[in-house]
């Protein structure tokens, strides 16, 4: 398994770790960003991640960011991804929504098979 754990409290979104994320992702150019832990505006959260990650290094990780919505055909989005980025927020909402979207087993299988997980 390839897993990169980061924390972002108190800093501009992903500012301190963009280079490390780009290095970790390596050749992966399509990243599914999971917004299910966000209780407010999942669309705005996705846009924030997209803006932070899509630019070339050092400003970004030079990847295409897909919005993996737990309630809108998430398994198909996961299948298109070369990496997975699990956004933070409410852990209980995240678990509930991943269960409702049928994503827990799909994510587990892809990560065990080597899908990079941030």
Q: What is the pLDDT of residues 75-92, one digit of tens each?
A: 999 999 999 999 999 999
83-118: b (≥16 Cβ within 10 Å) or e: bbbbbebeeeebeebbeebebeeebeebeeeebbbb
Query: How far apart (Å, rounded) are the C-alpha atoms in residues 75 and 69?
Result: 9
Distance of alpha carbon 79 from alpha carbon 47, whole angstroms = 21
- 1 assigned to some structural domain: no
What CATH number is given to the structural domain containing 100? 3.40.50.880
pTM: 0.92
- At 88-106, the pLDDT tens digits run 999 999 999 999 999 999 9
Residue 110 binned pLDDT confidence (cut-offs 50, 70, 90): very high
Tell whether the model's pLDDT for residue 113 goes beyond 90: yes
Residue at 78 is within a domain: yes
Number of domains in the chain: 1
* Domain encompassing residue 72: 18-112
Bond into 39 cis (ω within 30): no
**What is the token pair recorded at 39?**
């209780």
Helix axes 18-25, 42-53, angle to 10 degrees: 80
Residue 33 domain flag:
yes
pLDDT of 6 over the 80 cut? yes
């Amino acid at each position: 398994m390839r897993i990169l754990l980061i924390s972002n409290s108190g800093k501009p979104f992903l500012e301190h770790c963009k280079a490390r994320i780009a290095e970790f992702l390596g050749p992966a150019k399509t990243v599914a960003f999971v917004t299910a832990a966000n209780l407010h505006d999942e669309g705005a959260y996705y846009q924030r991640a997209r803006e932070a990650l899509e630019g070339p290094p050092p400003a970004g990780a030079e990847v295409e960011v897909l919005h993996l919505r737990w309630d809108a055909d998430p398994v198909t989005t996961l299948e298109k991804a070369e990496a997975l980025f699990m956004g933070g927020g409410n852990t209980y909402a995240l678990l509930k929504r991943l269960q409702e979207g049928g994503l827990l087993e799909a994510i587990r299988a892809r990560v065990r098979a080597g899908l990079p997980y941030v």
